[in-house]
Chain A
């Protein structure tokens, strides 16, 4: 089992709809969770972080964490064409103070 798993996509969502991206992780001791956005040919950029169970909202983005189910998700409301990118889930492993493992990413495409 991979340490961090995501559906590779592509996930196609109509403009204005909600895009839902999912991620599961294997290390029960993990405490920190991040979502990065990566445009083609660019470096990953942090868009959300979450550390506690529940929802965390930032503008059009909502991160959801369920540690019991080892599941973290990212919702993008009112999807825009500029949201088309690959979204990487990253998890800081509980056994290591600094090591962060990235999922393989989900490619999101917003269709006009």
Chain B
């Protein structure tokens, strides 16, 4: 079984540039989560989707960040314009969502290591 697939694995870009991170959740999972991890702040939930609908985006730091999930097998996290303080590892995770599967844990992708110069 393929796990959560993220791309790219590494991204280095200059500040001001647009950055797009991509995620393919595990087939059949209907909840998808975007996290950011830094040494200072640990693992932070940015946004999560259930059945492709954004449910809680309260963790999105500011308007420069946006996320979409156009279908059940694909999501993007976009930063425009990027700033050096956005440098972090961004993880995507998926799980079986609410209902009878509401106790299901999250499965993480390998992450995207983002460096903004």
Nearest B-chain residue to A97, judged by Cβ:
B98
With a cutoff of 8 Å between Cβ atoms, the chain A residues found around residue B103 in the complex are 31-32, 49, 51, 92
Q: Contact string, B3-33, partner A, CB cutoff 8 A, digits 1/0?
A: 0000000000000000000000000000101
B69 to chain A, nearest CB (A): 13
Q: A45's contact among B33, B50, B56, B108, by CB below 8 Å, is which?
A: B108
Q: Is B95 an interface residue (CB 8 A)?
A: yes
Most-contacted residue by chain A among B43, B103, B109 (CB, 10 A): B43
Q: Is A102 an interface residue (CB 8 A)?
A: yes
A102 touches B42 (CB 8 A): yes
- What's the count of A-B pairs with C-beta under 8 Å? 60
A102 touches B43 (CB 8 A): yes
Q: Is A98 an interface residue (CB 8 A)?
A: yes
B43 to chain A, nearest CB (A): 4
26 contacts between A and B (CB under 8 A): A31-B103, A32-B103, A34-B105, A43-B109, A43-B110, A43-B111, A44-B91, A45-B108, A46-B107, A49-B105, A51-B103, A90-B106, A92-B103, A97-B50, A97-B98, A98-B50, A98-B55, A98-B98, A99-B55, A100-B33, A100-B45, A100-B105, A102-B43, A102-B45, A103-B42, A104-B42
| Interface residue ranges, B against A (CB under 8 Å) | 31, 33, 35, 42-43, 45, 48, 50, 55-56, 91, 95, 97-99, 102-103, 105-111
